[in-house]
């Protein structure tokens, strides 16, 4: 069909309306998995039927940090590691917003690690999507807190010997109310987890494993992006409700995926309102009670 | 956009923006019906892009679209296309004269 036919039929890629077309094509490398997570996110937004004027997206720095710049939503590209504190301010300033933090493993768990820990502890009402490619892509493939033992990186030329974070375990231990891990091979499940994450009230942590063919795969001689997807397909085991302490990752080893945690805890705002209502009774006017889009 | 022109045999078809494809092969490897293959031609950036090798098998499920990290391909079901072809309702007369 020709382009005119397409125009006549008014069909376009279902993800197109979620993207800032003037900024495309994007800069991600061939076979980089980040774009696939964006498709899943767009699908989750469609299915959530949310008012997009009430969804805000915040990214930190890094290849994944670019997502905020490509999505056609109110978005902010913060300084390195500061996506969560910025998002916290946004949420508390306007509790009607659904605030999504979309960033990479390095930005969220290293530079911004402290913010991740405390936002989860407080059960801040944020949906955090962490694209984990085991490396610092944008700066050239340095070892990250998520790099598996034995993987080679520019700063670990003989293989990494540092113990990596098990991110779902970290988020769980800190108090996140929803924790899931999928890979970009599991597009449908990832989109569903994002939908559940958007609907959940409280601190949501979704880890999406994605290939970085340019730095991580090439340095470790793992082939192209699609070869990593084949590895995910072959080595992933779905264990919903798995104990997060058992889901640590090893170099090219088995991957446990699934929805690990789904529980209820009062959010920071709910806890604050409850606390001051008890303290001051009628005199206290609860703040942001209609928050969330449920 | 091109590459969508196919004899209407399967249940759906794909549209490919060949110039933004980076040839990663996600769509080709993970199409559940295995109906895509690489073009023999290159696009301007030098990548082979997907073409519908077996149009009769395409269901229009758009899984290729969900996989494509470059937003370069999407699938549609013919039955959804048919709906589109219905004449559009009369345009409303704009309020401003
Ligand atoms: S460097 Fe890695 S993470 Fe960054 S765009 Fe390229 S493949 Fe993706
Ligand atoms: S629409 Fe579905 S069946 Fe058709 S090419 Fe894409 S993935 Fe394959
Ligand atoms: S998934 Fe997208 S970028 Fe990759 S080969 Fe297919 S159309 Fe091209």
Would you call A203 helix, strand, or coil by DSSP? coil
Residues flanking ligand 3, CB < 6 Å: B 16, 21-27, 49-50, 67-68, 70, 72-73
What DSSP string describes B56-78? Answer: GG-----HHHHH-TTS-EEEEEH
Place of tokens 């446990």: A256
Across the interface, of B25, B73, B85, the residue whose CB is closest to A226 is B25
If you count them, how many residues does chain B have? 97
Note the pLDDT of residue A293: 44
Q: Does A291 or A230 have the greater pLDDT score? A: A230
B23-60 pLDDT, tens digit per residue, is 999 999 999 999 999 999 999 999 999 999 999 999 99
B81-90 pLDDT, tens digit per residue, is 888 766 655 5
Instruction: For residue B28, give the chain A residue with the closest CA.
Output: A226
Indicate if the alpha-carbon torsion angle B17, B36, A30, A143 is positive or negative: positive
Reading the block at residue A124, the tokens are 């801040």
Band (A28; pLDDT cuts 50, 70, 90) = very high
Band (B97; pLDDT cuts 50, 70, 90) = very low
Give residue A138 CA to ligand 3 midpoint distance, Å: 22
CATH number of B12-85: 3.30.70.20
Say if the Cβ atoms of B20 and A14 lie within 8 Å: no
What is the domain partition of chain A in residue ranges? 14-264
Among A107, A137, A208, residue to substitute to test ligand 1 (most atoms within 8 Å of Cβ): A137
What is the domain partition of chain B in residue ranges? 12-85
Rounded-to-integer distance, Cα B62 and Cα B93, Å: 36
**Residue of A18, A34, A36, A234 to mutate, interface with B, max B Cβ within 10 Å:** A36
* CATH superfamily ID and name for A14-264: Thiamin diphosphate (ThDP)-binding fold, Pyr/PP domains (3.40.50.970)
Rounded-to-integer distance, Cα A212 and Cα A224, Å: 9
Note the pLDDT of residue A11: 81
Reading the block at residue A251, the tokens are 């170099």
Q: Does B24 touch chain A (CB under 8 A)?
A: yes
Q: How many inter-chain contacts (A to B, CB under 8 Å) are there?
A: 97
pLDDT over threshold 90, residue A8: no
Q: What is the radius of gyration, based on Cα positions, of chain B?
A: 16
Which residues on chain A place their C-beta less than 8 Å from a C-beta of chain B?
1-3, 5-6, 9-11, 13-16, 19, 24-26, 28-36, 38-40, 43, 184-185, 187-188, 191, 224-226, 229-230
Reading the block at residue A206, the tokens are 């979704």
User: Which residues have CB under 8 Å from A247's CB, separation 6+?
Assistant: A166, A168, A169, A181, A239, A256, A260
């Amino acid at each position: 069909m020709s382009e005119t036919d397409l125009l006549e039929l008014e069909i376009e890629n279902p993800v197109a309306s979620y993207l800032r077309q003037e900024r495309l094509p994007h800069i991600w490398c061939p076979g980089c998995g980040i774009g696939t997570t964006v498709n899943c996110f767009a699908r989750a937004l469609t299915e959530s039927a949310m008012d997009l004027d009430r969804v805000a997206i915040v990214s930190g720095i890094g290849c994944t940090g670019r997502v905020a710049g490509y999505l056609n939503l109110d978005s902010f590209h913060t300084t390195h590691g500061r996506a969560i504190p910025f998002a916290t301010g946004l949420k508390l300033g306007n509790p009607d917003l659904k605030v999504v933090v979309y960033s990479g493993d390095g930005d969220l768990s290293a530079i911004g690690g402290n913010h991740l820990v405390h936002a989860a502890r407080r059960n801040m009402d944020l949906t955090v999507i962490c694209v984990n490619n085991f490396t610092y892509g944008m700066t050239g493939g340095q070892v990250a807190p998520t790099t598996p033992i034995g993987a080679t990186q520019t700063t670990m030329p003989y293989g990494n010997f540092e113990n990596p974070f098990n991110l779902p375990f970290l988020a769980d231990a800190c108090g996140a109310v929803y924790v899931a891990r999928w890979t970009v091979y599991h597009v449908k499940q990832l989109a569903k987890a994002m939908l559940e994450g958007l609907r959940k009230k409280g601190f949501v942590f979704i880890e999406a494993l994605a290939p970085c063919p340019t730095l991580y795969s090439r340095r470790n001689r793992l082939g192209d992006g699609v070869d990593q997807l084949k590895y995910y397909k072959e080595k992933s085991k779905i264990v919903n409700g798995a104990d997060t302490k058992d889901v640590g990752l090893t170099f090219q080893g088995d991957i446990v995926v699934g929805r690990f945690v789904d529980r209820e805890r009062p959010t920071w705002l709910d806890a604050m309102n409850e606390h001051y209502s008890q303290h001051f009774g009628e005199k206290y006017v609860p703040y942001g009670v209609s928050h969330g889009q449920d | 956009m091109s590459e969508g022109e196919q004899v209407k045999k399967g249940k759906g078809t794909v549209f490919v923006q060949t110039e933004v494809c980076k040839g990663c092969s996600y769509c080709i490897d993970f199409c559940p019906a295995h109906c895509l293959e690489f073009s023999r031609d290159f696009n301007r950036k030098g990548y082979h892009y997907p073409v519908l090798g077996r149009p009769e098998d395409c269901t229009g499920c758009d899984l290729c679209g969900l996989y494509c990290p470059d937003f370069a391909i999407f699938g549609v079901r013919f039955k959804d296309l048919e709906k589109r072809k219905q004449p559009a309702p009369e345009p409303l007369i704009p309020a401003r004269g």
